[in-house]
Amino acid sequence: MSEAEIPAPAAVDYDIGKVLQALPHRYPLLLVDRVRSMTLGERIHAVKAVSMNEQFFQGHFPGAPIMPGVLQIEALAQAAGILGIETMQLAGSGKLVIFMGIENAKFRAPVTPGCLLDLHVEFTQKRSRVYKFRGVASVEGKTTCEVEFTAMMTDAL
């Protein structure tokens, strides 16, 4: 497919209400605040506004707060969950997108309170109920985390 044939991401503006409809996650583990754009079946751009009020900053690290890398991966996975649920039109169905594997995780820069964390995720492979994704988290264009992960669509446990 040439660049001219690649569809542009649809500009969407999923506020927190629409995010809550798509994901089963709730505070304190909801790590997506808004969806900026999405091309169903392909990619999503979501954001997480990182606040000093985040529960994890109480212990990671007092006096030098840094968002844990594993939570950046979780935020990317939640964005992937929205992409998967919306692509398959399963919002409100009770279906879950759960981790199966994490590969090639790299942490490039710290994420601190006050940052707007951009979450870019794309499908890399789709098979029946198992999907592979590539995700990149960034702040102001600087990559903070990149990862490949596998997830599965399943009924609620």
In Å, what is the CA distance from 12 to each residue of 16, 18, 46, 48? 13, 11, 10, 16
Please report, as a single letter, which amino acid is at residue 74.
E
The tally of domains found in the chain comes to 1
User: What is the bridge-based pairing of β-strands 130-139 and 96-107?
Assistant: unpaired
CA-based angle 55:17:156, to the nearest 5? 75
Q: What is the mean pLDDT of residues 55-65?
A: 92
Structural domain including 71 reads 3-154
25 is a catalytic site residue? no
Domain with residue 11: its CATH number is 3.10.129.10
Q: What is the mean pLDDT of the chain?
A: 90
Q: Is 78 exposed, middle or buried (0-12, 13-18, 19+ CB in 10 A)?
A: buried
What percentage of the chain carries pLDDT values higher than 70? 92
Exactly one of 25, 45, 60, 120 is catalytic; which is it?
A: 60
pTM of this prediction? 0.90
More confident residue, 125 or 5: 125
Give me the pLDDT at residue 7, please: 54
